[in-house]
Amino acid sequence: MPYKVYSDKDISLKEWDTLTGNSFFSSIGFASLWRALDGEPLYYLDEESGKIKAGIGGIVFGKYLFKRYDSMPDGLFGGPFFASDYDEDERQKFLASFEKYIKRNNFIRANINRPSVDLGSNMFKIQTAFEHVLELSEQGYRPRRRAVGTDIRGAERRGTRVELLESETDLERLSELARASARRQGRKTAYPCQFFYRLLKLSAGNKNILWLKAMVDNKMIASQITFFEKEAALNWAFYYDKEQSYYKPGYLLADYALRYSIEKGLKYFSMGSTPGRIESVIRYKEAWGCREQSYNNYMYRNILGKLICGRRRR
């Protein structure tokens, strides 16, 4: 039986969630966020009699000669899922068929980011990436350096407070902080306001998203977004007003997210990767007690993709 391709509008939500074990990053709701960046969700499935036996979801950017595929963009988890009774031979046939689909449909680039299984692929090349991870326990966490606790207490003394970001009225200020962050790094803003608007709607009542803001008086000076994927937390995006660094909002937000993750019974807290391997950022993460861990991404480029994609974000 041939494999099938679905969009997020016609796939069975119940069957997909069952296959993925209710993975948040692979959820149909999360995938729909990327429409704000002109991305279209795509699902390649082995389906029989309405039951999904194997599948890989992703986001397609671009059209015609410039199509690009990400299992999930921007360092987020993605990859294939298989039913428990799907044997190794079936898995290899499914993955080989997916590779042929990518080539046959002229994708110039395809990324499968940190899958939970080894793809064993000749077409996709492994790229090792790194993140800083802190192991959590019921007893809490202990920063490696005493200065972390000093900065947390200093932020509280200076009147910095943490609140949930729940209102659309906060998004304009958030976009200002995001644009300022991008300018400091010499690049364009990665996410338009429409993306944050969609994320805010998704976060309402969603236990997999913790969206915080740091306030001084009545002004937001920083924001942090943390995602929860099964037993792990991922500190995904942090934006701040550099002129208000005196108030140490990053320390207070990280402390709140860590304590919240411990209360949820999670085992790991990732402070993410460090683009450019900036030493000061790495030292900051290590001060909390994080240790560097590696993981594999899988990358494919056709000839055109090698010429024009380079290391572009999407």
Reported as a pLDDT band with limits 50, 70 and 90, residue 39 is very high
**Does 274 fall in a domain?**
no
* Residue 312 pLDDT > 90: no
122 and 221 in a single domain? The answer is no
What is the pLDDT at residue 310?
Answer: 62
Greatest alpha-carbon span in the chain: 65
Is 276 part of a structural domain of the chain? no
Q: How does pLDDT run across 223-256, given as a tens digit for each residue? A: 999 999 999 999 999 999 999 999 999 999 999 9
Q: pLDDT confidence of 198, banded at 50, 70, 90?
A: very high
Structure tokens of 123? 């077409």
119 pLDDT tier (thresholds 50, 70, 90):
confident
On whether the CB atoms of residues 165 and 223 are closer than 8 A, the answer is yes
Residues 233 and 156 grouped into a single domain: yes
pLDDT at 314: 62
Whether the predicted pLDDT of 274 surpasses 90: no
Q: Do 109 and 169 belong to one domain?
A: no
Look at residue 44 in the predicted model and tell me its pLDDT.
Answer: 98
Partnered with residue 59 across adjacent β-strands are 41, 70
**Does residue 75 carry a pLDDT above 90?**
no
Pairing of strands 268-270, 125-135: antiparallel
281 found inside a domain = no
Average pLDDT, the chain: 93
Q: What per-residue confidence (pLDDT) applies to 9?
A: 93
Higher pLDDT, 137 or 46: 46
Whether residue 187 is found in the same domain as residue 247: yes
The reply to whether 190 falls in a domain is yes
Residue 201 has pLDDT above 90, yes or no: yes
Segment 83-109 mean pLDDT: 96
Do 122 and 161 lie in one domain? The reply is: no
Q: Are residues 112 and 164 in the same domain?
A: no
Q: Do 50 and 158 fall within a single domain?
A: no
Same-domain pairing of 70 and 187: no
Distance CA 266, CA 211 (A): 17
* The pLDDT value given to residue 22: 95
Looking at the structure, tell me whether residues 252 and 189 fall in a common domain.
Answer: yes
Q: What's the total number of domains in the chain?
A: 2
Higher pLDDT, 314 or 245: 245
CATH code at 105? 3.40.630.30
Of 194 and 120, the one with more pLDDT = 194
161 and 50 part of one domain: no
Q: Is residue 11 part of a domain?
A: yes
The reported pTM is 0.92
Same domain? 144 vs 125: no
pLDDT score for 311: 56
Q: What confidence tier does 264 reach under pLDDT thresholds 50, 70, 90?
A: very high
120 & 159 share domain: no
User: What residue numbers bound the domain in which 148 lies?
Assistant: 137-266
* Burial of residue 9 (number of CB atoms within 10 Å: 0-12, 13-18, 19+): exposed
178 found inside a domain: yes
Is residue 287 domain-resident? no
3-state SS assignment for residue 236: strand
Q: What average pLDDT does the segment 268-282 reach?
A: 89
pLDDT in tens, 288-310: 999 999 999 999 999 888 888 76
Tokens describing residue 145: 């350096």
Residue 279 resides in a domain: no
